[in-house]
Amino acid sequence: AQSVTQPDIHITVSEGASLELRCNYSYGATPYLFWYVQSPGQGLQLLLKYFSGDTLVQGIKGFEAEFKRSQSSFNLRKPSVHWSDAAEYFCAVGGNTDKLIFGTGTRLQVFP
């Protein structure tokens, strides 16, 4: 069955610190992987996506994610977090014509 696990419900970091948000997926075919961000009071926005090729993908706002097939993971990273990055982050998996399934999300809090 298609599923996404985000094991961290809530993460707190200091501004300027590095960040890694974990995502593990289960999918029976070639996965298409995504990270979306939901800022307070706003809709969801695509950060980045992985379809094929280079397993390290770059996204907007300085985020990157690495696809590791052996670990069924697609962790999101940022070298230096800004206060404006405080939001909820959702990992998602889909297929060629398959639906997009989201994880339960990780809420990021940034301290000055």
Partner 1 sequence: GAGVSQSPSNKVTEKGKDVELRCDPISGHTALYWYRQSLGQGLEFLIYFQGNSAPDKSGLPSDRFSAERTGGSVSTLTIQRTQQEDSAVYLCASSLAPPGGFLFSPLHFGNGTRLTVT
Among 15, 32, 72, 77, indicate the residue that binds partner 1 (CB under 8 A). 32
Cα–Cα distance measured from residue 60 to residue 75, given in angstroms and rounded to the nearest whole number: 15
CB 109 within 8 A of CB 9: no
Q: Give the binding range for partner 1 (CB under 8 A) out of 14-22, 68-76, 78-86, 96-104.
A: 96-104
User: Using the rule CB under 8 A, is 43 a contact of partner 1?
Assistant: yes
CA 11 – CA 106 distance, rounded (Å): 7
| Contact flag: residue 100 with partner 1 (CB under 8 A) | yes
Asked if 50 and 62 touch (Cβ cutoff 8 Å), the reply is no
**Contact residues for partner 1, defined by CB under 8 A:** 6, 9, 30, 32, 34, 36, 43-44, 46, 49, 51, 90, 92, 94-105
